[in-house]
Copies of this chain bind each other. A is one copy, B any other.
Amino acid sequence: MTDLVHSAIDDELRAVFADARARADEFGADYAALWESLELQSAGGKRIRPHLVNAAYLGLGGTDRALATRVGVAFEVLHTAFLIHDDVIDRDTVRRGAPNVASRFAGRALARGAGDRASEALGETAAVLAGDLALSLAHREIALLSIDAERRGRLLDILDRAVFVSAAGELADVVHAGSAEPPEVARVLATLEQKTAVYSFECPLTAGAVLAGANEAAVGALARYGRFVGVAFQITDDILGVFGDPATTGKSTTSDLREGKQTALTAHAATTDAWASISARLGDPELDDAGADELRAALLGCGALDAARRLADEYVTLARFELDTAELPESLRTELGDLAGRAAERAR
């Protein structure tokens, strides 16, 4: 099924962007290039959100694949919008191993002979606007669904929740990243849930369920399952961000340590005697590979890796409990149970 979802989503995204690029042409080459950048930025993802919409929708009796695809596209472009604005906030220039929107546009300006400051400003402008356009696309996809007013209203509420809670999580993340307080497990988990689990797991699942006309009990169970499994995925991602194999994950194992990212690992470490020496080096922008190796050894030595793995496992257990106690069709239960297993097992 995954391949089918993938190709339906890609087809729909291609149609949406082809339409936008055709309209953008009239406004000049820069605006057309902005839409191309936005399309590039939307490509190459794992399409987990559309997959979840489809799994819930088809698993709960939905039959109109085109409808589920449009809702999947809405969550996919919402994700793109958040990634792009996240990069603006973090002043990042690379996304998925390639130059991001800001970096592409800064490069265009430099090539035209603009100065460094003007080029950087253009890059940032392009990224702010590209995120706004992607966010607007997400809203439009849901608003234009040809379904009854009651279901459309509920889907709009789910989309609203996705935006509302993610913004809260993003704000909390930046507030705490700038704070001198040691990270606390409960707060790290709340931020993971708000910043990622709600819009990436809970909302796509509940949107699919509501679209299929599922009962409240099923919608509620999928919401809780989504939050738990989403947190498990994020804890695992954070483990892989420090202890993973860059060849497999495609991600440096130094950058999170350099940024001093607050994770389940650092929150556990903060409860141990090793914290004084760990916190002294965590977040050092000059951290080199040898320093990163030492930090990794210290995190391992104080039990942070084991603690984070246990925490991910607990969230998988909680997610599975929701599946087991809800009245869900067996095939959906199996599919989501498998997904929950994969959430934690990557970090073994």
Contacts and interface: CB of A to CB of B under 8 A. Distances in A.
A66 interface: no
Contact of A128 (B89, B118, B122): B89
B178 A114 contact: yes
Contacts of A135: 132, 135-136
Contacts of A126: 171
A152 to B, nearest CB: 8
Interface string A62-86: 0000000000000000000100010
Interface stretch (A140-148, A236-244, A296-304, A340-348): A140-148
Contact of A175 (B30, B113, B178): B30
A149 interface: yes
Chain copies in complex:
2
A179 interface: yes
A323 to B, nearest CB: 26
Interface in A156-182: 156, 160, 163-165, 167-168, 170-172, 174-175, 177-180
A177 B119 CA distance: 11
A177 to B, nearest CB: 8
Given A129-B171, A132-B163, A135-B136, A143 B146 contact: no
A88 interface: yes
Nearest to A156: B143
Interface residues of A, number: 57
Given A119-B178, A135-B136, A125 B170 contact: yes
Contacts of A112: 179
Interface stretch (A21-29, A314-322, A328-336): A21-29
A221 B122 CA distance: 35
A172 B27 contact: yes
A139 interface: yes
A36 to B, nearest CB: 13
Contacts of A41: none
Contacts of A114: 178-179
A214 interface: no
A118 B30 CA distance: 32
A118 B23 contact: no
A152 B156 CA distance: 14
Interface in A104-138: 109, 112-115, 118-119, 121-122, 124-126, 128-129, 131-133, 135-136
B156 A125 contact: no
A180 B113 CA distance: 9
Contact of A163 (B136, B172, B175): B136
A21 B20 CA distance: 35
A149 B144 CA distance: 9
10 contacts: A24-B168, A27-B165, A27-B172, A31-B168, A34-B167, A109-B178, A114-B178, A136-B139, A139-B139, A139-B143
